[in-house]
A and B are shown apart, each in its own frame.
Chain A
Amino acid sequence: MNGTSALIILVAAIFTNNILLSNFLGMCSFLVCSRQVATALGLGAAVIFVMTCTTIINYAAYHWVLKPLGVHDHLYFIVFIAVIAAFVQFIEMFIERFSPSLYHALGIFLPLITVNCAILGAALFMIIRNCSFVQSAGYGFGAGVGWSLAILLMSGLRQKLGYSNVPKAFHGVAIIMIITGVMAAAFMGFAGMVSIQ
Chain B
Amino acid sequence: MATDIAAVGGACGAGQCAGKCKKALKDGSWSDNPVCMQILGICSSLAVTNRLENALVMGGALIFTTTLSNLLISLLRNATPRRVRMIAEVAIIATFVIVFDQFLKAFSPQMSKQLGPYVGLIITNCILMGRAEAYALQNSPLPSIVDGAANGLGYAAVLAIIATIRELAGTGKLLGFVVLSSDVYTPNQAMVLAPGAFIILGCIIAAYTALKTKPKEKKA
Contacts and interface: CB of A to CB of B under 8 A. Distances in A.
Interface of A: 21-28, 31, 74-75, 77-78, 80-82, 85, 115-117, 120-121, 124-125, 128, 167-178, 180-182, 184-185, 188
Nearest to A187: B194
A181 B202 contact: yes
A174 B197 contact: no
B69 interface: no
8 contacts: A27-B43, A27-B46, A28-B42, A78-B95, A169-B213, A172-B209, A184-B193, A188-B194
Interface string B22-59: 00000000000000000110111011000000000000
B124 A120 contact: yes
Contacts of B40: 28
Contact of A24 (B46, B90, B95, B98): B46
A167 B206 CA distance: 9
Interface string B85-120: 011001100110110011000000000000011001
A99 B154 CA distance: 45
Given A21-B194, A28-B40, A188-B194, A170 B97 contact: no
B201 interface: yes
B197 A78 contact: no
Nearest to B105: A73
Contact of B39 (A23, A31, A180, A184): A31
B195 A188 contact: yes
Nearest 8 A/B pairs, CB to CB: A177-B202, A181-B198, A124-B117, A181-B199, A178-B202, A117-B124, A185-B195, A169-B210
A120 B129 CA distance: 15
Contacts of A31: 39, 42
A22 B195 CA distance: 8
A121 to B, nearest CB: 6
Interface of B: 39-40, 42-44, 46-47, 86-87, 90-91, 94-95, 97-98, 101-102, 116-117, 120-121, 123-126, 129, 190, 193-199, 201-203, 205-207, 209-210, 213
B43 A25 contact: yes
A189 to B, nearest CB: 11
Given A169-B207, A173-B205, A185-B190, A81 B94 contact: yes
Contacts, number: 123
Contacts of B207: 169
Contact of A77 (B98, B125, B196, B201): B98
A23 B115 CA distance: 12
Contacts of A117: 43, 121, 124-125
Nearest to B102: A74
B124 A175 contact: no
A85 B195 contact: no
Contact of A121 (B86, B98, B121, B213): B121
A113 to B, nearest CB: 11
A182 B199 CA distance: 8
A121 B206 CA distance: 28
B93 to A, nearest CB: 9
